[in-house]
Amino acid sequence: MFLISSIPLLWIPELVTTSRLNFSTFISLFRQFKRYTFVEFFENIREELEAVVWPLFIFLVFQNALSVGYVGTLAGIGSIIFTIFVGRYTDRINSKIFMRIGAILMVGIWLTRFMWPQIPLLLYVSTVVAGLLACLIEVPFTSYIYNSA
């Protein structure tokens, strides 16, 4: 089924774009989109913490790889459930409100994780909630970027 659905892709014309990126172009784009660059930078830090540092922390706390699998699964479940909800309301309500609420609550999740790392259930619950909050940040941010383009 997948192979059959891929056949129409063979007739898409090839699009060749030429762009020259160098340091001066980067600087001019950075100056032009300074706010976006900073927001994207810090959002990427949040993503890497959730995707790399948090599973390593879970592995070190529980000393088994199965817990790392639980963390990834729980974060995915939290994201799937909440993405639909956030996506519906992002276009109706100001997307910056969602991003700000998500960022503030995400700070609370990380403070909770660092204050009580010895409670296993809290670590798993915070993973689900972090998946939910990631949607509060990522869905409106992506919508905002697409609307600005």
What pLDDT sits at residue 149? 63
pLDDT lower than 70: segments of the chain: 1, 149
What pLDDT sits at residue 108? 92
Give the global pTM: 0.69
What pLDDT sits at residue 123? 83
What pLDDT sits at residue 104? 92
71-82 confidence digits (pLDDT tens): 888 878 878 878
75-110 confidence digits (pLDDT tens): 788 788 788 888 888 878 888 888 888 889 999 998
Amino acid identity, residue 9? L
What pLDDT sits at residue 66? 86
